[in-house]
């Protein structure tokens, strides 16, 4: 009989990803491991105006022409990719998807990389888990204020994290030679 009750005793063991240092920049075979539910945001935003080809319209100074949209509703979710194969097998890289009008390339690129021709955003979580693609991964840095445990004084530290520059579909004939498998 399976015991799933709160009286079940568990033995401690290491699990999950314990190394959060960035992996080297390059292309990796990635598998969609998990996708968080969509989170709604409502904000007043400046939306970049686009021509009939989807290109940003520029003013005489070369700046994007924008329109302010009050209470614009858009959605965001976090995709958890897992590196498949090689030295970094199992390492996790996060990627954001959004319906924000200024990021109109994010979801189409994600679907293209997973070889999905068309999909409603609401179907992404139920359709994309387990699918694979190639990710161009790079290391990004950001500054964060943290409290020094010894002194109690706030310090600004630089953190590094992997981000995905672009995604592309697998090409079965060349995937093993072109993708960094950490070998």
- Spell out the domain ranges in the chain: 26-34+77-178
pLDDT tens sequence across 100-159: 989 888 999 999 999 999 999 999 999 999 999 999 999 998 898 989 888 889 999 888
Average pLDDT value for residue range 11-27: 74
- Residue 13 above 70 pLDDT? no
Q: How far apart are CA 134 and CA 120, in angstroms?
A: 22
Q: How far apart are CA 119 and CA 79, in angstroms?
A: 16
Average pLDDT value for residue range 13-32: 81
- Residue 173 above 90 pLDDT? no
Q: How far apart are CA 162 and CA 25, in angstroms?
A: 8
Is residue 97 within 8 Å of residue 107, measured between CB atoms?
Answer: yes
Q: What is the DSSP letter of 130?
A: T
Q: How far apart are CA 182 and CA 74, in angstroms?
A: 37
- Mean pLDDT across the chain: 87
Q: How far apart are CA 34 and CA 113, in angstroms?
A: 16
If one compares 144 and 183, the residue with the highest pLDDT of the two is 144
Q: How confident is the model at residue 176 (pLDDT cuts 50, 70, 90)?
A: very low
Q: How far apart are CA 7 and CA 20, in angstroms?
A: 33
Q: How far apart are CA 89 and CA 61, in angstroms?
A: 47
Q: How confident is the model at residue 60 (pLDDT cuts 50, 70, 90)?
A: very high
Least confident interval from 44-48, 73-77, 171-175? 171-175
pTM, 2 dp? 0.76
Contacts within 8 Å (CB) and 24+ apart, 112-118? 112/167, 112/168, 112/169, 113/167, 113/168, 113/169, 114/32, 114/169, 115/169, 115/170
Cβ neighbours of residue 115 under 8 Å, at least 6 residues apart? 131, 169, 170
């Amino acid at each position: 009989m399976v015991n799933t009750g709160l009286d079940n005793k568990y033995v401690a063991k290491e699990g999950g990803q314990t190394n959060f240092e960035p992996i080297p920049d390059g292309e990796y075979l990635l598998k969609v491991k998990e996708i968080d539910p969509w989170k709604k945001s409502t904000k007043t935003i400046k939306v970049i105006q686009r021509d009939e080809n989807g290109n940003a319209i520029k003013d005489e100074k070369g700046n994007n022409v924008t329109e302010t949209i009050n209470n614009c509703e858009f959605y965001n979710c976090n995709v958890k990719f897992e590196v498949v194969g090689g030295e970094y097998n199992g390492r996790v890289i996060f990627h954001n998807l959004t319906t924000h009008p200024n990021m109109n390339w994010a979801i189409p690129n994600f679907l293209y990389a997973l070889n999905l021709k068309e999909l409603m955003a609401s179907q992404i979580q139920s359709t994309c888990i387990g699918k694979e693609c190639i990710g161009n991964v790079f290391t990004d840095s950001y500054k964060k204020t943290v409290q020094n445990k010894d002194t109690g004084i706030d310090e600004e530290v630089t953190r590094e994290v992997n981000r995905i520059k672009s995604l592309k579909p697998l090409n079965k004939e060349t995937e093993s030679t072109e993708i960094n498998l950490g070998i």
